[in-house]
Amino acid sequence: MVAFVPAAVPVTGGGSLPSARAFVARRPLGLSPVRRAVRTLVATASTEPTKNTSVAGRGGKTDSDATTDDPAPLNAAAPLTDSKFYQKFNSYRGKKVPTVTETMTKFNELFPRPVPSVYRNIISEILMTTHLAKNCAMWKYDAIFAYGYDETFSEFLKFYPIEAERTMLYNAVAKSLGFSPEDLAKDAAAVRSWAEGKSEADIFAASKAGAEGASEPAVAALQYVANAEPFDYYYSRLHGIGVIKLMATAGVELTPENAGRWADELSMPRAKLTTELGTYEAAVERLKAAEQLYAEISARDARKTAERLERRAQQAAEDAAKAEKGL
């Protein structure tokens, strides 16, 4: 698998794309009035300005970070070598990166025990989404990402059946993704400590360039995202969860409107963060229902086991009494 470099500009012709003539029938076909109208419409549309949707919608920042008018038609040659995107990421072309399968295989080697079905989807999602984000050339590690990682395990795996295995799971996921679990825990603790007692206004102020406290990992992360240059930031799910947990710590109600407002203040993709909030809340509810069911099943099994042991004890007592009478 080669390095993933997200497309920041539309394909504008030229390059190595096959010629459109390769797809034209060798023998001209008669056109009905409807087909002739469609052909005219397509030909007209191809010469009009096109909308260049930035990679902001996919979680990254571009020069404008918005939808802009691109006067170049789709069939015009573009000087791609002059673009900031090309100059920044051309050196990544052809570089090898681990595949999702390799990451999953490494995790299974580090954690060879079965994961309970209640938690299996959560672990798989963390592995896959983080792998894809981490291997995007625009992604960079920050302390709020670490906070999101740590809080995900605290929130979603707090009732994991065996505490020692929960720690092993935390470490195995981190190492299979190429992180140090110790660094993740340390950075998460630093963010948690900094956020304690902070208001929404305090957090917004900390994200501004030149704000005090930049030596704090949380402040450095906020300022990095809010002031990132084009193509220097790529949204990841765990970073989004870290921001959501900051919202909760600051006493902000977790609503899509508030998530959108925070995204605007912190220069994050609004659609990504609001969607993340909905996904996060739905996952919490599903987990609560699953854990309740799991607890009920466990209690029922424990009750059956106790009843079985009690019957065995009674039977043993009866057998002992019979044996004593027989003597």
3-class SS of residue 94: coil
Q: What is the pLDDT of residue 36?
A: 53
Which is more confidently placed, 275 or 315?
A: 275
Average pLDDT over residues 265-286: 92
DSSP summary character for residue 138: T
Q: 0.85 exceeded by the pTM?
A: no
**116-133: pLDDT as tens digits:** 888 898 999 999 999 999
Judge whether 70 and 10 are in contact, CB under 8 Å. Answer: yes
Q: What is the pLDDT of residues 201-217, one digit of tens each?
A: 999 999 998 878 789 99
Question: Rounded to whole angstroms, how far apart are CA atoms 226 and 148?
Answer: 18
122-176 confidence digits (pLDDT tens): 999 999 999 999 999 999 999 999 999 999 999 888 888 888 899 999 999 999 9
Decide which of 186 and 160 is more confident: 186
Element (H, E) at 130: helix 117-134
Confidence of residue 56 (pLDDT cuts 50, 70, 90): very low
Quick one: residue 251, left, alpha or beta (phi over 0 = left, psi -120 to 50 = alpha)? left
Predicted confidence at residue 89, as pLDDT, reads: 87
